[in-house]
Amino acid sequence: MLYLVGLGLADETDITVRGLEVVKKAERVYLEAYTSILLVEKEKLEAFYGRPVIVADRELVESGSDDILAGADKADVAFLVVGDPFGATTHTDLVLRARELGIETKNIPNASIMSGIGCTGLQLYNFGQTVSMVFFTETWKPSSFYDRIKENAQIGLHTLVLLDIKVKEQSLENMARGRKIYEPPRYMTVAQCASQMLEIEEERQEGVYTPDSLAVGAARVGAPDQKLVAGTLKELSEVEMGKPLHSLVLLGKRVHDLERDYIREFALDKAAFDANWAKSYASS
């Protein structure tokens, strides 16, 4: 059996009891470590699970899935995914490959950032399409996220923006020379996301949002040092939220008063928040 085991959002203790039972008896335990990260080291997981954990990078999962699946028709293999195995990450390709090989699969769900973001007090029912923000380079600034936000904004919905993670990436030069030297990991911050959003609005000028649009920054959701801040995109483009991981929610205009009251509690500047609210959101 191939088990896909969700690990939850913060640390080694967020695994479910059912997930832990699987990990304890599986023949091999892989940790998918490139679409999201737990906020603790691999060694802490191993100590808590009492099992060695094999880190599965993108290359192994995408090109070496048969290695992961080897023998899973006779013994159990656990494939650990941070968050939920099917939340904002898709491991359907691994499951499809397992099916092709006649290997049974089981999913053990857990909290995902897609549900954890409800801690902002914003109603999950009022969210539109989730978008991803990648690190811009001098020559590459993909802006398809802007069109998705526009569609959400047209019907007043919030947008969850998930932020880029770069682990085990090669520089262009090392890639060109075929050198397996990897750059240090990078995790996008709320500030960088907000400034990239403003850069694209400046370029496209379609008024989907402005520097005064309200948003919520969320860092380390589910961890003891979780941090939430509400403010304008301009304010968030300068905010310091600490260690990864970060996400951002751009507010839709269809905000309920309870949602407003909840996020106002962690506004960077309550007077500015109230002024922006009165100007752009109150009558909607």
Binding residues for ligand SAM, per CB under 6 A?
A: 9, 35-36, 81-84, 87-89, 112-114, 162-163, 165, 218-222, 245-247
**Residue whose CB is less far from ligand SAM, 146 or 277:** 146
- Residue 84 marked as a ligand binder: yes
Helix/strand/coil percent split, the chain, to 5: 35, 20, 45
Residue 83 to residues 4, 157, 186, Cα–Cα distance (Å): 11, 24, 19
**Residue whose CB is less far from ligand SAM, 88 or 272:** 88
**Residue whose CB is less far from ligand SAM, 56 or 276:** 56
We find the least distance from the C-beta atom of residue 207 to ligand SAM, in angstroms, to be: 26
Tokens for 3, please give them. 């088990």
Residue 200 contacts residue 140 (beta carbons within 8 Å): no
- Residue with CB nearest ligand SAM? 83
We find the least distance from the C-beta atom of residue 32 to ligand SAM, in angstroms, to be: 8
Residue 38 contacts residue 6 (beta carbons within 8 Å): no
C-alpha 133 chain-centroid distance? 10
We find the least distance from the C-beta atom of residue 113 to ligand SAM, in angstroms, to be: 4
**Residue whose CB is less far from ligand SAM, 69 or 82:** 82
- Residue 256 marked as a ligand binder: no
We find the least distance from the C-beta atom of residue 47 to ligand SAM, in angstroms, to be: 21
Q: Give the start-end residues of each E strand in the chain.
A: 2-6, 28-32, 54-56, 77-81, 105-108, 131-133, 159-163, 165-166, 186-187, 214-219, 227-232, 246-250
- Residue 198 marked as a ligand binder: no
**Residue whose CB is less far from ligand SAM, 134 or 272:** 134
Tokens for 237, please give them. 């483009």
- Residue 246 marked as a ligand binder: yes
We find the least distance from the C-beta atom of residue 196 to ligand SAM, in angstroms, to be: 13
Residues 282, 72: Cα–Cα separation, whole Å: 57
Residue 160 contacts residue 127 (beta carbons within 8 Å): yes
| Binding-site entries for S-adenosyl-L-methionine | 9, 84, 87, 112-113, 163, 221, 246
**Residues tagged in the binding site annotation:** 9, 84, 87, 112-113, 163, 221, 246
